[in-house]
Amino acid sequence: MRETVQVLLGTKKGAFVLESDAARTAWDLRGPYCETWPINHVIADPATGALYGAGGNAWFGPAVWRSTDGGTTWTHSSRGLAYAAGEAPVASVWSLAAGHGRLYAGVEPAGLFVSDDAGESWTHVEGLQRTPSRPEWNPGGAGLILHSLVLHPDDPKQIWVGISAAGVFHTADGGETWEPRNRGTRADFMPEGQNYPEHGQCVHCLVMAPGKPERLYQQNHCGMYRSDDGGRSWASVEKGLPSSFGFPAAVHPRDPERLFLVPLNGDTAGRYMPDAQAAVWRTEDGGGAWTAAREGLPQRNAFFNVLRQALATDRLAPAGVYFGTGSGEVYASRDEGGAWTRIAEHLPTISSVETFVARG
């Protein structure tokens, strides 16, 4: 059966799609889509093949865009994607996740919405606002954003969210109640002695290991962490990395021990590639040891960054790995992150990279 790989890009000025056959050697670029709105996240619902783009426009506000023809045509909706009258309105949609027949959206200011009609209309998951620490949440540099959205593969009532800079929260009852899950993660920006609070950590990206729902990884503003108990406790796995700072993390499609990162040089050092030499860092043992992959990546004057949702893997074998840069380049590996090729350039700032393998 013929397989087509789509790399879905959210950018500051629209959504784009890179497409190839399973060989992943020649790529066509399509776009911009979504009327050049800032699009923070583009996903495909694996159950239906529908594409969704999340964003917000300075003129017209937040919306989720949908395409059911592979990106050729798009519609948008924000029906119900709103807080109560009088409250600070939803500014933008930051993250999407499809699963169990539902579509979830994380927004700024931090909140969670759910759609049961493929993004036509939305319902506020109000329980998250009732979290006791909610009045104390403070925004990170990009705002008070709900950027990481992790659904349990088997239990539709379990969801993890990552909010900058409130931390990781988990619900086991479909969103009615939430508890913070930040034990063991640092907040270096807090006064001495207060560096391990219950909440307030600056999580940058939260991902779940394949086939192992209790195994989570998070790239934090202050370190890289792994949890083997669904986020109840976290252990640092940053030893061997060039920096404790970075934005994205991506899991291997099948091996829960394998993870990909793109560490940056530090939060006060420019936030670009360490020593201006680009590398993707890989572990094959859950973060015990790390190695850098540099083949095909620029090794001098690489002053770009990679944002929190801009690193992804595909589900082919060997797995493809992809990242998009703040300066509009997309790099791809078709050998599990070993060797890299630039497959697009001159795009707007890339906010997100996701993949979809279509069969037909």
Partner 1 sequence: MGDAFPRPVCVRLPALFDALFPGVERRLELEAATVAELVDALEARWPGMRDRICDSRPQIRKHINVFVDGRRVRLDAALLPGADVFILTAISGG
Q: Candidates 53-61, 170-178, 223-231, 255-263 — which segment interacts with partner 1 by CB under 8 A?
A: 53-61
Residues facing 321 on adjacent strands: 313, 333
Q: Candidates 75-83, 194-202, 324-332, 335-343 — which segment interacts with partner 1 by CB under 8 A?
A: 75-83
Using an 8 Å Cβ cutoff, are 212 and 218 in contact? no
Of 83, 188, 233, 315, the residue at the interface with partner 1 (CB under 8 A) is: 83
Of 44, 63, 112, 262, the residue at the interface with partner 1 (CB under 8 A) is: 63
Of 22, 29, 70, 89, the residue at the interface with partner 1 (CB under 8 A) is: 89
Q: Does 79 bind partner 1 (CB under 8 A)?
A: yes
Q: Candidates 82-90, 177-185, 205-213, 248-256 — which segment interacts with partner 1 by CB under 8 A?
A: 82-90
Toward partner 1, which CB reaches closer, 32 or 231? Answer: 32
In angstroms, give the least distance from the CB of 124 to partner 1: 11
Q: Candidates 19-27, 85-93, 202-210, 284-292 — which segment interacts with partner 1 by CB under 8 A?
A: 85-93
In angstroms, give the least distance from the CB of 82 to partner 1: 4
Q: How far apart are CA 205 and CA 130, in angstroms?
A: 23
Using an 8 Å Cβ cutoff, are 167 and 232 in contact? no
CA distances from 71 to 49, 124, 132, 334 (A): 10, 27, 41, 24
Of 4, 68, 77, 291, the residue at the interface with partner 1 (CB under 8 A) is: 77
Using an 8 Å Cβ cutoff, are 298 and 340 in contact? no
CA 27 to chain centre: 23
Using an 8 Å Cβ cutoff, are 9 and 330 in contact? yes
Q: Does 1 bind partner 1 (CB under 8 A)?
A: no
Toward partner 1, which CB reaches closer, 51 or 279? Answer: 51
Using an 8 Å Cβ cutoff, are 200 and 136 in contact? yes
For partner 1 (CB under 8 A), the number of binding residues is 19
Toward partner 1, which CB reaches closer, 120 or 179? Answer: 120
In angstroms, give the least distance from the CB of 42 to partner 1: 18
Interacting positions 20-49 with partner 1 (CB under 8 A): 35
Question: What does the angle CA 321 – CA 241 – CA 304 come to, to the nearest 5 degrees?
Answer: 60
Q: How far apart are CA 179 and CA 167, in angstroms?
A: 10
Using an 8 Å Cβ cutoff, are 147 and 94 in contact? yes
In angstroms, give the least distance from the CB of 251 to partner 1: 34
Query: Structure tokens of 162?
Result: 């990552």
In angstroms, give the least distance from the CB of 47 to partner 1: 25
Interacting positions 108-147 with partner 1 (CB under 8 A): none
Using an 8 Å Cβ cutoff, are 162 and 203 in contact? yes
Of 6, 40, 67, 78, the residue at the interface with partner 1 (CB under 8 A) is: 78
Q: Does 61 bind partner 1 (CB under 8 A)?
A: yes
Q: Which residues contact 229 (CB under 8 A, 6 or more apart)?
A: 214
Using an 8 Å Cβ cutoff, are 63 and 55 in contact? yes
In angstroms, give the least distance from the CB of 41 to partner 1: 19
Toward partner 1, which CB reaches closer, 39 or 280? Answer: 39
Q: Candidates 60-68, 149-157, 163-171, 300-308 — which segment interacts with partner 1 by CB under 8 A?
A: 60-68
Burial 310-348 (b: 16+ CB within 10 A, else e): bbbbbbbeebbbbbbbbbbbbbbbbebbbebeebbeebb
Toward partner 1, which CB reaches closer, 121 or 158? Answer: 121
- Please give the residue ranges that form the binding site for partner 1 (CB under 8 A): 35, 58-61, 63, 76-79, 81-87, 89-90
